[in-house]
A and B are shown apart, each in its own frame.
Chain A
Amino acid sequence: MRKVRIGAGQGFLGDSPFPALDVVRHGEVAFLCCDALAELTLAILQKLKNRGAGGGWTPDLRTYMNLLLGECRQRNIRIITSAGGLNPRGAATEVADAARALGIRGLRVGVVEGDDISGSLDEFLQRGIPLDNLETGEPFSALSRDQILFANVYLGAGPIVEALDKGADVVITGRCADTALFLAPLIHEFGWAVNDWDRVAAGVVVGHLLECSAQSTGGNFSGDWWDVPDMHRPGYPIAEVDKDGNAVLTKAEGCGGLVTRETVAEQLIYEVHDPARYVTPDVVADFTSVRLKDLGGNRVSVTEVKGAPRPEKLKVSIGYSNGWCGEMTVRYAWPDALKKARKAEEIIRRQMALLQIKPQETVVEYLGVNSLLGPAADEPPGDLEEVGLRMAIRTKNRREAELFPRLFPPLALNGPPGLGAGSFGGNRARELIGLWSALVSREEIKPVVEILEVN
């Protein structure tokens, strides 16, 4: 039976591009799918744009293209990436520039647009489309218009399939469901009907297992992670899929990492709410139906996936300006390191009162004690060798957030003994961006696909 091999090339903005190259060179894949957008990434891209650094697409796109375009061209591997971020069209011109510089002629770049609905929000509200917050139920009117930074819909696989059908060598999208990047080539190759729910769900499960790169091939493995081979260069996941959606998950030959039932199961449950109803724009997949079987040799079969009809509504993610954060970390040495850190906290709090810095919230963490485990952390045993104090405040205005870190350097001379600077001078106020999720009817969303030919 004919099988299609698709490979993962990226799990987020900031991932390493070298494993993608390994997948291209050693993975025998027909498609390289790169998920560049975590949930918060559009917020990062918006911040970069506000600072005049970048055009709204992911800043590492050029690096990826320089590394991959020629190698993929040689092997007829098509690339699908969500690196378009807030500006897929701009990203496409970046890809075209990279192709020209590399001397690649005739490259067809597919651009998927229509996820950006920031220009339609007023119209939606006028027409009685509510955009209430999915998590809190708050009405959209709780946000003021000048707070809103972006608004994007999670598109499904449809427009990517269209771009592939039209011959795109590289497909650039903005916001779309992560799984759609991986599902689309399978629909393109096998011609699955939109309502072939079980097969489409199988494609979504494949996508879910590939979308976080090494997280299914030994990265972040919470079992015996020390036994994962060559973590410095893990093989990114590759799925070998047949026309019925039966898949084998594996990784590029000759690379590190580990594919077992355990490493794959951990990714199956990652960032899932109700596992019987994993909602995507393309299908509602039942992750409790999935059968994982270890075939040995870094191969795990993924079968028996069930799906239910896709939802009528699509998810919108709206980014909004949500105040400021000022923060600082200092560290104290033994003896009595924790006691010193607590004293420093008291000093900072009293100075805040003197200067009338009144944050909406103050977070205090003791590094080495509870900064990662929070309330689940145990009382520390004995007198610790060193303890860090991290304080962060949430403020409405920027000035207070900027002022806050400046309270800390005097501790070096005025406070308890044995201070090692944490991040003096390195901290500036950072803008907080909230994400407001809402639903909108799919009829309201009109994705647009265009193929640009690079000459």
Chain B
Amino acid sequence: MVVKIRLKELARSRSGDKGNTCNIGLISRKPQYYPILLREVTAEKVKKHFGDFARGEVVRYEMPNIDALNYVLYEALNGGAASSIRSDNLGKCFGSALLKMWVEVEESEL
């Protein structure tokens, strides 16, 4: 049976800034969840999840050595660091925001 769960159940995350670009590392909580992340958490879906915060392209990179995916969100930080007028000027909370995403998994995969 397919169930809908938050990404938080499957992964951990850490995000940060370089200029106006934010990156989010999404790390599988267990190695067997990595294929689910690969299938479910596409760059397109991440861009949609962040709506107006992801103004530019979103690129996904794979790090199978640590069962992780890395998302790079361009034009995402309101000008970045000392130019941003947002509360989260360094994009530190983007990782938390990503973990809110809903994903669909087969119960047998968990």
Contact = CB atoms under 8 A, between A and B. Distances in A.
B97 interface: yes
Interface residues of B, number: 47
A322 B52 CA distance: 22
Main secondary structure of the interface of B (DSSP, over half): mixed
Chain A CB within 10 Å — which of B27, B29, B50, B74 has the most? B27
Interface in A116-161: 134-135
Interface string A348-384: 0000000000000101010100011111111000000
Contacts, number: 146
B58 to A, nearest CB: 12
A372 B27 contact: no
A361 B93 contact: no
A109 to B, nearest CB: 30
B86 interface: yes
A312 interface: no
Given A262-B12, A265-B66, A373-B100, A272 B25 contact: yes
A322 B81 CA distance: 12
Contacts of B90: 40
B21 A322 contact: no
A262 B68 CA distance: 11
A432 B83 CA distance: 5
B61 A275 contact: yes
Nearest to B96: A373
Chain B CB within 10 Å — which of A40, A215, A290, A376 has the most? A376
A266 B97 contact: no
B52 A372 contact: no
Contacts of A367: 87
Contacts of B17: 39, 271
Chain B CB within 10 Å — which of A220, A265, A292, A437 has the most? A265
A288 interface: yes
A393 interface: yes
Contacts of B14: 215, 220, 222, 266-267, 269-270
Interface of A: 39-40, 43-44, 134-135, 215, 220-223, 262, 265-276, 287-292, 319, 322, 325, 327, 361, 363, 365, 367, 371-378, 390, 392-394, 432-435, 437
